[in-house]
Amino acid sequence: MVQWPRRAILGGGLALPALARARATGVQAAWPSQPIKLIVPFAPGGTTDLIARLVATPLQEKLGQPIVVENRPGAGASVGSLLVAQAVPDGHTLLLSNIASHAISPALYGNLRYDPVRDFSHIALLTLNPSVFVAYPRAGIANLDDMARLHRERGLDMASSGSGSSNHLLIVRMGSILGREFNHIPFRGAGPAMTAVIGGQVPLMSDSLPSAASHIRQGSVKAIAMSSAERHPSFPDVPTFREQGHDVVTSSWFGLSGPAQLPRPIVDRLSREVSAILDTHSTRSRLAEIGGSAGQYSPEEYAAFVASEVALWGPLVRETGAKPD
């Protein structure tokens, strides 16, 4: 049985300058004293961006300072992640950490300049969700059998939000199962990738359910398979991979992190406020609508979760033979 959860390997540690530590200590009592940057390591329009904005609006109301969502895509989410790892740990620069930035890319890219565990303060798990294969409606692909037949006949292109994403790895895995690699088309985010599929430039895409949900409902793409263990209650008409003869189950995850040595009072405040946001009916309803489920991990639990993801994804990346595009 092929399980598609999580994990990766380690990079190199970052030395935090003494000046940065001193600055962080000096400002923590007044935190937050200025707008907070929330770095999203993917382009606008994808699940990472969507989750960041879903949490940022209520969080800025609770903290009394604006939260500026800043998209910094590139290299499997490692560009934006490195920026946060190197930031002063004063609570004014945070990261929407995710399975790509902290579990897959460290295994996929051998020269990352951050360690996904040691170089971050992991604060809260926000959500987990399945992946979905979607097709251009006029591509003649209604299910995985159609996809497999056409792929064996002529080879198919398949888009994703970028190299190093869990959806990239799912494409590689399915190519291995079918005995022919897909031509992976990496974009700088799920939004641009979905635009290409809707426009017919690429026939297929592997996407996280939250960013694909509205397009599936609108009929601008055809959902052909869901990576959940059972049919998703919000999309009961979309069959799973298992139902179609492929025992593949996978999920992606998104959380909130900051630089290493973030002062504990700031970590605790953020954890408390995020937990309250995830507990609200409006947030849970919105997550259910887009196919996600709220996470409720303490900082220690989320840090342990990230470490466990790191431990599993490295072997899985090597097993698939995935390479950066």
Q: What is the pLDDT of residues 16-38, one digit of tens each?
A: 444 444 454 444 568 999 999 99
User: Looking at residues 112-121, what average pLDDT do you find?
Assistant: 95
Calculate helix-pair angle for 264-279, 281-289, nearest 10 degrees.
Answer: 70
Burial environment of residue 200 by CB neighbours within 10 A (0 to 12, 13 to 18, 19 or more)? exposed
Q: How confident is the model at residue 325 (pLDDT cuts 50, 70, 90)?
A: low
Task: Look over the chain and give the mean of its residue pLDDT values, rounded to a whole number.
Answer: 88
Q: E-assigned strands of 86-233?
A: 93-98, 120-135, 157-160, 183-186, 204-208, 222-226
Rounded alpha-carbon distances, angstroms, from residue 10 to 13, 65, 109, 166, 250:
9, 34, 10, 17, 22
pLDDT at 22: 46
pLDDT tens by residue, 164-188: 788 988 998 899 899 999 999 999 8
Q: Which of 200, 128, 206 is nearest to 162 (CA)?
A: 206
pLDDT score of 251: 86
Q: Residue 15: its pLDDT value, please?
A: 47
pLDDT at 18: 47
Q: Mean of the pLDDT values across residues 263-291?
A: 93
Domains of the chain: 2-129+251-320 (3.40.190.150), 131-250 (3.40.190.10)
The closest of 37, 104, 44, 33 to 75, measured between CA atoms, is 104
Is pLDDT at 313 greater than 90 in this prediction?
no
Dihedral of alpha carbons 178, 75, 12, 6, sign? negative
Among 239, 243, 303, which Cα is nearest to 271's?
303
User: Under a CB-based contact definition with an 8 Å cutoff, are residues 200 and 141 in contact?
Assistant: no
Tell me the C-alpha distance between 108 and 48, whole Å: 19
Lowest mean pLDDT segment, chosen from 1-10, 145-154, 296-305: 1-10
Give the number of other Cβ atoms within 10 Å of residue 318's Cβ: 12
Q: What is the rounded end-to-end Cα distance, in angstroms, of the chain?
A: 27
Q: 19-23: long-range contacts (C-beta < 8 A, 24 or more apart)?
A: 20/88, 20/89, 21/89, 21/261, 23/88, 23/90
Q: What percent of the chain has pLDDT over 70?
A: 90
Q: pTM for this structure?
A: 0.78
Q: Whole-angstrom Cα distance, residue 291 to residue 277? A: 18
**Is 60 exceeded by the pLDDT of residue 163?**
yes
In this predicted model, what pLDDT tens digit does every residue of 200-241 receive, in sequence order?
999 999 999 988 999 999 999 999 999 999 999 889 999 999
> Are 302 and 142 spatial neighbours (Cβ–Cβ below 8 Å)?
no
* Alpha carbons 109 and 304: distance in angstroms, whole number: 22
